[in-house]
């Protein structure tokens, strides 16, 4: 009954109504929910409960918790080395312990010619030495908290032009979530 009350009380139509065993519920109240009858009470089918719970699943369940970061005063060569030595495309940039920005492999690729032309390593190195992380990174970072739902994160990715979000709780970086993480999660659902 506790789970049912939680389900009923969190539903937008019913959250301000008192729900108990004697409450009559019209089928239209729960559009998208399917119910079975047990002992005269409408109970959500197991698949409905699972769907409901998964809609509320927090991003902390799928985020990367061991985050590789760079400091704002590190070099772009350090960033390139991290990208080359690890399977990642996004790095949070810290100033001390606080998030100052994000830098991506696309940010680096826009600066260099290595992907377009052969034998351009010398010019790429020169460009990377001339610029700082702060000049290249994204400064206005959108972040989410660890209790943000996976659905909300997916909606952010669908509407925005970025592919990763730092996960921040109490001004501390606790993880990172990427479009790849969300896609992998979605694939487990089907």
Domain boundaries, the chain: 2-56, 60-189
Distance CA 50, CA 45 (A): 9
pLDDT at residue 5 above 80?
A: no
pTM: predicted TM-score of the whole model, two decimal places = 0.67
Distance CA 134, CA 174 (A): 22
- pLDDT score of 53: 43
**95: part of which helix (H) or strand (E)?**
strand 90-95
Distance CA 112, CA 40 (A): 69
At residue 93, the 3 state secondary structure works out as: strand
Model confidence band, residue 124 (pLDDT cutoffs 50, 70, 90): low
Fold of the CATH domain 60-189: CBS-domain (3.10.580)
What's the burial of 91, exposed, middle or buried (CB within 10 Å: 0-12/13-18/19+)?
buried
Percentage of the chain exceeding pLDDT 90: 48
């Amino acid at each position: 009954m506790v789970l049912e009350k939680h389900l009923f009380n969190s539903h937008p139509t019913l959250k301000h109504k008192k729900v108990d065993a004697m409450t009559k519920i019209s089928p239209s109240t729960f559009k998208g929910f399917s119910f079975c009858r047990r002992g005269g009470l409408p109970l959500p089918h197991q698949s409905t409960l699972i769907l409901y719970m998964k809609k509320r699943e927090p991003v902390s369940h799928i985020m990367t918790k061991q985050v590789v970061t760079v400091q704002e005063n590190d070099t772009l060569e350090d960033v390139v080395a991290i990208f080359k030595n690890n399977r990642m495309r996004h790095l949070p940039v810290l100033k001390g312990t606080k998030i100052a920005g994000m830098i991506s492999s696309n940010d680096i690729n826009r600066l260099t010619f290595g992907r377009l032309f052969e034998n351009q390593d010398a010019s790429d190195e020169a460009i990377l030495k001339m610029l700082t992380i702060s000049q290249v990174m994204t400064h206005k970072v959108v972040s989410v908290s660890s209790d943000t739902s996976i659905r909300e994160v997916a909606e952010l990715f669908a509407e925005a032009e970025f592919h990763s979000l730092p996960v921040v709780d109490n001004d501390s970086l606790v993880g990172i979530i990427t479009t790849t993480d969300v896609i992998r999660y979605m694939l487990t659902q089907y």
